[in-house]
Amino acid sequence: MTDRQAKLRFEGVHKSFHTRRGEVTALSPIDLTVYQGDFIALVGPSGCGKSTLLMIAAGLEAASGGTVLADGAPMREPGPDRCVVFQRFALFPTKTVTGNVEYGLRMTGVPKAERRERVRETLGMVGLSAFADAYPHELSGGMQQRAALARSIVMRPDVLLMDEPFGALDAQTRIIMQEEIARIARDLGLTVLLVTHSVEEAVYLCNRIIVLTARPGAIKHEFTVDDDWSHHSVDEAMAQPGFGSLQRTVWNAVREEITSVQ
Ligand SMILES: Nc1ncnc2c1ncn2[C@@H]1O[C@H](COP(=O)(O)OP(=O)(O)OP(=O)(O)O)[C@@H](O)[C@H]1O
């Protein structure tokens, strides 16, 4: 039991797609509660429904059944309380970094002076202050992903949904971004649901790791991460014996599912 507030709750949520080749069941009924301050990873074999669950949480995909509750109320559509960061940066190419980051605030009617202040503060947080007037094509991949992250966190979402957010980045940039999202999540007290293929990333960033079975995805096992590794740098954390042993345990659970369909 916990007295932390439930920000997002999946109750018997399942999903099938009707395709030309017949019905594809992506998700078996999922029961999962995301509490305030959780940093949860969804890991599992390719095609097990991780992104589908995230899209349902975002309101960008409809569940075939079950209920999703956002802050206790049934949720049916996208809202500024649940922002998504995708693997591909998805910035507006014709808007500057400032224009991109302030877009959601503008759409929700935040007055100009407050918008400018919040954008300034957020760009500082993600290390992009010097690039406020740059256009996406003038930025590196890592900087574009910082801008995409800024565009989400400027909204102070109840739940930040991230789908392989560092998957398109080079290995070095990825490590730096992992350390930065850990710091930002801590500073802002964010609640995060993260889809990742990297068990290492999950152990480093998360307090809960949900392993899904091969498709149709069901919850196979939930691991609790007792140590907050994200206070260390990634290389320091990985050097600790407890980190490696949890990483191996989680990976074995994922591997079991991958090999079950081979
Ligand atoms: N729009 C769609 N129409 C038809 N089938 C879909 C659609 N979206 C997803 N699927 C199917 O649902 C299943 C789950 O897909 P999903 O992308 O959620 O998996 P995933 O675990 O995120 O995969 P990966 O790790 O490879 O990104 C797959 O079999 C996929 O082909």
Q: Compute, in angstroms, the gap from residue 5 CA to the centroid of ligand 1.
A: 30
Positions of the chain with pLDDT under 70: 1-3, 89, 262
pLDDT of residue 82: 77
pLDDT of residue 2: 58
Q: Compute, in angstroms, the gap from residue 127 CA to the centroid of ligand 1.
A: 34
Atom of ligand 1 nearest to the CA of 53: 18
Residue matched to tokens 């999903």: 15
Atom of ligand 1 nearest to the CA of 163: 22
As a whole number, the mean pLDDT across the chain is: 92
Residue nearest to atom 4 of ligand 1 (CA): 17
For residue range 52-89, list pLDDT tens digits in order: 999 999 988 999 999 999 988 888 777 777 787 877 76
Structural domains in the chain, CATH included, are 38-63+75-81+159-262 (3.40.50.300), 88-156 (no CATH)
Q: Compute, in angstroms, the gap from residue 42 CA to the centroid of ligand 1.
A: 14
Atom of ligand 1 nearest to the CA of 18: 4
Burial class (CB in 10 A: 0-12, 13-18, 19+), 116: middle
For residue range 85-101, list pLDDT tens digits in order: 877 768 999 999 999 99
Would the CB of 51 count as within 6 Å of ligand 1? Answer: yes
Please report, as a single letter, which amino acid is at residue 75.
Answer: M
CB 53 within 8 A of CB 37: no
Residue nearest to atom 25 of ligand 1 (CA): 46
For residue range 213-226, list pLDDT tens digits in order: 999 999 999 999 99
pLDDT of residue 252: 96
Would the CB of 47 count as within 6 Å of ligand 1? Answer: yes
pLDDT of residue 89: 65
Residue nearest to atom 20 of ligand 1 (CA): 47
| ipTM value | 0.97
Token pair, residue 150, equals 């800024």
Measured between alpha carbons, how far is 23 from 215 in angstroms, rounded to an integer? 13
For residue range 185-195, list pLDDT tens digits in order: 999 999 999 99
Would the CB of 90 count as within 6 Å of ligand 1? Answer: no
Q: How many other β-carbons are positioned within 10 Å of the β-carbon of residue 140?
A: 11
